[in-house]
Structure 1
């Protein structure tokens, strides 16, 4: 697929974060789990568990100046179900580590809303960022990967998955006739971090389920 087609079809990207995290995101950028652990010098057994294990609950990590970053849970991706889904001899620990090195955005608002209204999250507040797709993707184009499914979900069925699930923009299959993606893009994935993310945020808001709690200052 061509980049021009991607950004025309998905002019907005969406990221769901912990409530109250927008101020730190403005300061540090949008960090993957790995980037967060690096920034706050988390190492040893704790780091290994956070990078390669299943986070059934949110986990707080702390900076030396009192900063608090919350690593989101991975409830939809328990070890036993993930093990059934993985192909090519990939171990769950490898998959967790891979996903924890990425920053994930939704290409479709409908998928964001589905997650916001999922049973595990609909009673909680979340900070949602609406991103300007074209300049963001074009700046990070060489490392952007696309995925047609929720790579971190194994419910209601543990659909098979492997490394080929993630494709570069140019490798993502598109129609020869129309240039449109054969499978709709679900996730637009960035490597490690987006340090300048605030340049691309069109809207920041606190939401709970379908309800807007408040608009956040850019």
Structure 2
């Protein structure tokens, strides 16, 4: 049981994060933030915050702050309360699940998964910022806050696969080798609790892509940048 930092980074040397187009300046300044961390930064409190963290978002939501400007909280179109209730099987409520997801930063471990999201009907016509991250660097700095998932935790289509509190496990508890032995995709999502404030130090490449236009590189790490 469990997987080491080294074994995970050898199997998945790169991580990928899709963000809203135009978000790179804010990410450079504040790091990659979960929804909850972003709401902290933008000082969103009370009923408005509770509604954002605990309810389904059928569309993206723009929030504003007098100092930090604007930020976009991504939609949750691939989920529904009805399907989540079935997937959770009574162990948690949909609101519980939304709060869990909103407290983490998410990464794909393969380009295949990234491209599937970029080409999804909800996103294919929109410009997106794509961050490519060095897995080993991220694990070295934040491995104690990393949790792994064997499924797309933010999707209940076409079938609401069972999920619960044990969906996200630390590396030391994750059944990496047993999933490989069964011919399953070892890991589907890598998450970091709350935020990755130093993400700029871990990124290899940032580009904007999609929306029917050629990709444009926004930032690349220097070849001799320290690891």
TM-score by length of 1: 0.94
User: Contact (CA 8 Å) 2:78, 2:154: kept in 1 or not?
Assistant: yes
Q: Distance in 2 between matches of 1:68 and 1:192?
A: 19
CA change 1:102–1:181 in 2 (3 A) is: farther
1:63-212 to structure 2, matched below 5 A, reads 63-65=65-67, 67-175=69-177, 183-208=185-210, 212=214
Cα deviation, residue 192, structure 1: 0.2
Q: Distance in 2 between matches of 1:84 and 1:179?
A: 29
Cα deviation, residue 213, structure 1: 2.5
TM-score by length of 2: 0.90
User: Contact (CA 8 Å) 2:91, 2:164: kept in 1 or not?
Assistant: no
User: Contact (CA 8 Å) 1:31, 1:103: kept in 2 or not?
Assistant: yes
Cα deviation, residue 184, structure 1: 1.7
Unaligned stretches of 5+ residues in structure 1: none
Give the one of 10, 34, 37 matched to 1:35: 37
Cα deviation, residue 183, structure 1: 4.2
CA change 1:180–1:68 in 2 (3 A) is: farther
Cα deviation, residue 210, structure 1: 8.8
User: Contact (CA 8 Å) 2:105, 2:192: kept in 1 or not?
Assistant: yes
Cα deviation, residue 66, structure 1: 5.4
Q: Name the stretch that deviates more: 159-168 or 190-199.
A: 159-168
Cα deviation, residue 65, structure 1: 2.1
Unaligned stretches of 5+ residues in structure 2: 221-227
Q: Distance in 1 between matches of 2:6 and 2:76?
A: 33
Cα deviation, residue 89, structure 1: 2.4
The answer to whether residue 30 in structure 2 is matched with residue 12 in structure 1 is no
Q: Distance in 1 between matches of 2:189 and 2:159?
A: 19
Across the two proteins, how many residue pairs are aligned to each other?
A: 217
CA change 1:212–1:186 in 2 (3 A) is: farther
User: Contact (CA 8 Å) 1:116, 1:209: kept in 2 or not?
Assistant: no
User: Contact (CA 8 Å) 1:174, 1:181: kept in 2 or not?
Assistant: no
User: Contact (CA 8 Å) 2:152, 2:188: kept in 1 or not?
Assistant: yes
